[in-house]
Amino acid sequence: MSYLATRLFGFLVTPSNLVATICLLGLLLTLVRWRKAGARISAAGIALLLVCGFSPLGNWLLLPLSERFPAWHDDGRAPDGIVVLGGAISPDLTAERGTAELNASAERMTAAAELARRFPNAKIVLSGGNANVFHPLSTEAEVGRVLLENLGVAADRIVREDRSRNTYENAIFTRDVVKPKPGERWLLVTSAYHMPRAMGVFRAANFPVEAYPIDWRTSGWKEAGRPFLKLSAGLARLDTAAHEWVGLIGYRLAGRTDEWFPAP
């Protein structure tokens, strides 16, 4: 499947988009001769929208992902390198505004800066190109490099991998850039809910890494039964979880990982 086809498929299977499509279809049918069928479809779409947005469904799907890998604990042995996956920077906004614009996954970059301070001899590898076909000029790795340098990280410690557009390419291209040696210790920094898929891909690429999950979207399993007070918040959580589950299944079917649900 081509890259653009993959992106289109990901858009179509987003729960909020599917629900919106159902509601729109019902509305359109009410404008023609299938008025009763349209009304039923619209009612079903609205009911589904409310369930998806206000129920804890998003948490039920996200928690197994984000709780799969525990927080990393320092055992006294410093890492040789730290791989930070893209996804925290908006290259298009950055290009328009002339400054690093971070999104909801900003912890990937703040964790990189904090780890660079804690482990002054470790290489910091920023893995991320630009998946936005409408703003192809800047890459996440380059924007991240400037940001980390402004935060005091020495330029000679930062390694850029700026070709990757997805998690699979993150692993393959980063491995080829850094060429990890046997016995080296590498940390992998990405969002907790994304860690299972990322670890599976890096393992399949023969790049041994240790999980360093950040960007926790929940406070833990106690949120499993907690409904959302805002429709948009529940839909956003559900979209994030569904995207990751579809990614896990798709990567396994495509042979990009050797496990359905990678574990520690």
pLDDT category of residue 1 using cuts at 50, 70 and 90 = very low
Q: What is the pTM of this model?
A: 0.88
CA distance 84 to 125: 6
What does the pLDDT look like over 37-52, one tens digit per residue? 889 998 999 999 999 9
On the question of pLDDT at 227 being above 90, the answer is yes
The per-residue pLDDT for range 75-85, each reduced to its tens digit, is 999 999 999 99
DSSP label at residue 180:
P
Phi, psi dihedrals of residue 201, rounded to the nearest 5°: -70, -45
- The stretches of 3-153 forming alpha helices (DSSP H) are 3-12, 15-30, 35-54, 57-66, 91-97, 107-118, 140-150
The per-residue pLDDT for 12 is 54
Give tens-digit pLDDT for 87-138: 998 877 887 888 888 999 999 999 999 999 999 999 999 999 886 656 555 7
Contact between residue 102 and residue 89 where contact means Cβ atoms under 8 Å apart: yes
Q: Does residue 32 have a pLDDT over 50?
A: yes
